[in-house]
Amino acid sequence: MRLSIHHRTAYRFSRPQDRLVQMLRMTPQNTHDQTVASWRIDIDCDAKLREGRDGWGNAVTMLYAEGPLTELEIAISGEVLTSHSNGVLHGMSEPLPPAVFLRSTEVTMPDPAIAVFAASTAGGRETLPALHRINAGLHERFTMDRSRPVAGLTAGDAFAAESATPRDLAHMFVVAARSLNVPARYVSGYSLLAGEHRPTPHGWAEAYLDRLGWVGFDPCSGLSPQEDYVRVAAALDAAGAAPVAGSRLGEGEERLDVDVTVAEA
């Protein structure tokens, strides 16, 4: 499949900013089933961009811009060729051993309710079917909330609600998998399913299985990601894999506007 992606991130500041330093995790990497045909990051002001890699192995771009800046737009456009993988990740270089992904973070703290749900949904002792059942179970349990996720919402709190955003569903999956001692992580990227003009990129989860390696699970669909997904970054939680980690020098408020469109090219 050939997917075309447009991802626009616009900041507006109520007061001019002296400097901006941002770390962008916005560049997909090539894997066996994902080939980046073209990819560009355009910034609407004079900015220096530097490529690098973070500890998780994600491709990062440092953005340095001098003010005064009242707005900043990051426009991403690219095309990615994908093939069918059954959700199994092949050909990614992993700098960290899977056991690291048993750790929790503030938003993915172990949660008794999720642990009970995981244990009761898992069924048999085979891990892969258990994870699929948890994935499907989460999908059935929640109605989809397509608005922007609430910053800092924990998986445990999200689990108590009736609807959930893709990010929160992925967090719940991660917490559930870890409660079964399965390493799991959050993945950010794009999905054709999500469609046009979404307010955020997509997010799902990956879990590590001894024989298969990292396998994707998307509780939004209840299935594993297929060739209509483009994988960009992974970390312990959504904040760690977020497209932008930023810092600005200057007073005032900021307004963020995001528009994501994924289409078949």
Contact criterion met (CB below 8 Å) for 175 and 101:
no
Contact range with other proteins by CB under 8 A, out of 56-64, 107-115, 165-173, 217-225: 56-64
* Shortest reach from residue 101's CB to other proteins, in Å: 9
Per CB under 8 A, does 38 bind other proteins?
A: no
> In terms of CB distance, is 5 or 69 closer to other proteins?
69
Residue 23 as a binder of other proteins (CB under 8 A): the answer is yes
150 in contact with other proteins (CB under 8 A): no
Should residue 53 be labelled a site residue for other proteins when binding is judged by CB under 8 A?
yes
Q: How far is CA 108 from CA 162, 177, 230, 255, in A?
A: 18, 11, 24, 27
In angstroms, the CA 166 to CA 187 distance is 11
Which parts of 216-255 interact with other proteins (CB under 8 A)? 236, 239, 245-247
Is residue 141 within the footprint of other proteins (CB under 8 A)? no
Q: 229 near 215, Cβ under 8 Å? A: no
| Closer by beta carbon to other proteins, 19 or else 133 | 19
Residues 6+ apart with CB under 8 A from 111: 154, 155, 156, 159, 175
Q: Does 207 bind other proteins (CB under 8 A)?
A: no
Write the DSSP symbol of residue 96.
Answer: S
Residues 6+ apart with CB under 8 A from 132: 217, 224
The one-letter code for the residue type at 112 is: P
CB closer to other proteins out of 103 and 255? 103
Which residues pair with residue 27 across a beta bridge? Answer: none
Q: Quick check: 124 binds other proteins (CB under 8 A)? A: no
How many residues bind to other proteins according to rule CB under 8 A? 29
18 binds other proteins (CB under 8 A): yes
Q: Between 66 and 228, whose beta carbon lies closer to other proteins?
A: 66
Among 10, 75, 102, 136, binds other proteins (CB under 8 A): 102
Rounded Cα gap, residues 261 and 73, in angstroms: 16
Least distance CB 58 / other proteins (angstroms): 11
Q: Is 48 in the site for other proteins (CB under 8 A)?
A: yes
User: Which positions from 81 through 100 interact with other proteins, judged by CB under 8 A?
Assistant: 95-97, 99-100
Sign of dihedral through CA atoms 32, 94, 194, 242?
negative
DSSP string for residues in 107-133: GG---HHHHHHHHHHH-SS-HHHHHHH
Q: Report the interface residues with other proteins, using CB under 8 A.
A: 18-19, 21-23, 48, 50, 52-57, 60, 62, 64, 66, 95-97, 99-100, 102-103, 236, 239, 245-247
